[in-house]
């Protein structure tokens, strides 16, 4: 503990889903996401996380770099981390767009290249799922060459990315598979895993290749954290949105990979089927301000605490109510590590 409180890496996530039952329109939700990014930047959050998916009936964010550019315009300190399904992009065009956001954000963009896993996304964008790992390698190679600012050869043609991305642009791979973890250990500047097991696979591969130990998996709080004066009442409002989020991920992963998930951080074997199951999970927490302070105190210094205020289309009023309570009643017990040493995991 420091004089102010627990030293934590605070992160904010926006993926902008609106299921059919949600009570918010798209422009309002998008404006709210930008307002929340501005708020997070001002109170000391280290990163704003923007994931990517396609062909989702709820409108899950399909263009994280566009939103990243908007976030860059309303923030000045927080890192902007985009999870990009690299095989879905033309590599040179993607390098140009990354370069623009890199400069717009003054070097705060952290692109995380992921292979993807949903067949529907690849079919919709005219790509081949089985070629995804090679495609990630192509994007990484183009970005590596682009930072030098000179023309280079790619697929038998001369390519020149202008403006060039800055040399300080970190190039990360992300995902939950051992194959991606091992490729990240030799090809990328770091790895953004979805599980502790994937991070340990990356760590072993880094050590086996003779690199410096990247350290252990960072401890972290729940996948979803909502602060309310009356958690029971709050569950009635946010619960359906959390269930939508969790079951959608479970369905995608079950259908594509043949395994179950229950959403990030889930402990389920067969996936959640009710709000009651979510309430029993440590991954989804709706707590009073005092309970949130206790949760903060239970984390070690350097841990990650992530807020996902509009998860599953939660209404902006409920999202802001939680964030304001967090700022007024919980944040005084935290020393935010904004701008601290870069850790990809």
Tokens of 198: 């994937």
Coil/strand/helix, residue 305? strand
Q: Are 280 and 256 in contact, with CB atoms under 8 Å apart?
A: no
Tell me the H-state helices in 209-310: 231-257, 275-280, 289-298
Residue 265 lies inside a defined structural domain of this protein: yes
Q: Are 315 and 23 in contact, with CB atoms under 8 Å apart?
A: yes
Please give the chain's pLDDT, 345 residues, in tens: 344 689 999 999 999 999 999 999 999 999 999 999 999 999 999 999 999 999 999 999 999 999 999 999 999 999 999 999 999 999 999 999 999 999 999 999 999 999 999 999 999 999 999 999 999 999 999 999 999 999 999 999 999 999 999 999 999 999 999 999 999 999 999 999 999 999 999 999 999 999 999 999 999 999 999 999 999 999 999 999 999 999 998 888 877 776 554 455 443 335 688 999 999 999 999 999 999 999 999 999 999 999 999 999 999 999 999 999 999 999 999 999 999 888 878
Q: Which domain range does residue 166 map to? A: 6-336
> Which residue from 44, 5, 40, 11 is spatially nearest to 333, judged by alpha carbons?
5
Residue 72 lies inside a defined structural domain of this protein: yes
> Which residue from 21, 3, 7, 4 is spatially nearest to 301, judged by alpha carbons?
7
Residue 1 lies inside a defined structural domain of this protein: no
Residue 343 lies inside a defined structural domain of this protein: no
Instruction: Identify the bridge partners of residue 226 per DSSP, sorted by sequence position.
Output: 286
pTM: 0.94
CATH assignment of the domain containing 130: 3.20.20.30
Query: What's the CA gap between 97 and 101, in Å, rounded?
Result: 6
Residue 133 lies inside a defined structural domain of this protein: yes
Phi/psi at 139 (nearest 5 deg)? Answer: -65, -45
Residue 345 lies inside a defined structural domain of this protein: no
Residue 256 lies inside a defined structural domain of this protein: yes
What's the full length of the chain, in residues?
345
Q: What is the dihedral of CA 66, 15, 288, 268, to 10 degrees?
A: -150
The number of distinct structural domains making up the chain is 1
Coil/strand/helix, residue 46? coil
């Amino acid at each position: 503990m420091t004089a102010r409180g627990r030293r934590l890496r605070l992160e904010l996530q926006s993926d902008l889903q609106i299921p059919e039952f949600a009570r918010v329109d798209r422009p309002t939700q998008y404006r709210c996401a930008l307002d929340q990014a501005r708020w997070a930047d001002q109170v000391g959050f280290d990163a704003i996380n923007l994931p990517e998916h396609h062909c989702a009936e709820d409108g899950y964010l399909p263009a994280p770099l566009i939103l990243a550019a908007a976030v860059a315009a309303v923030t000045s300190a927080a890192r902007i981390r985009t999870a990009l399904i690299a095989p879905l992009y033309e590599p040179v065009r993607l390098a140009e767009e990354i370069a623009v956001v890199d400069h717009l954000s003054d070097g705060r963009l952290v692109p995380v290249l992921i292979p993807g896993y949903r067949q529907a996304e690849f079919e919709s964008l005219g790509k081949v799922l089985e070629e995804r790992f090679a495609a990630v390698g192509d994007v990484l190679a183009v970005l590596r060459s682009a930072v030098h600012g000179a023309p280079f050869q790619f697929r038998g043609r001369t390519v020149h990315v202008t403006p060039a991305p800055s040399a300080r642009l970190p190039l990360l791979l992300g995902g939950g598979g051992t194959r991606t973890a091992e490729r990240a250990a030799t090809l990328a500047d770091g790895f953004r895993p979805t599980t502790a097991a994937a991070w340990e696979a990356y760590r072993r591969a880094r050590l086996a290749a003779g690199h410096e130990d990247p350290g252990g998996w960072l401890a972290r709080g729940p996948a979803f954290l909502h602060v309310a004066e009356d958690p029971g009442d709050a569950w009635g409002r946010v619960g359906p949105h959390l269930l939508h989020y969790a079951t959608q991920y479970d369905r995608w992963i079950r259908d594509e990979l043949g395994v179950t998930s229950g959403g990030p951080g889930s402990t389920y074997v067969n996936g959640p089927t009710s709000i009651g199951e979510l309430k029993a999970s440590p991954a989804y927490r709706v707590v009073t301000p005092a309970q949130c302070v206790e949760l903060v105190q239970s984390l070690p210094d350097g841990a990650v605490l992530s807020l996902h205020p509009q998860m599953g289309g939660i209404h902006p009023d409920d999202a802001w109510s939680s964030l304001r309570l967090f700022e007024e009643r919980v944040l005084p017990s935290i020393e935010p590590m904004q701008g601290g040493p870069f850790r990809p995991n």
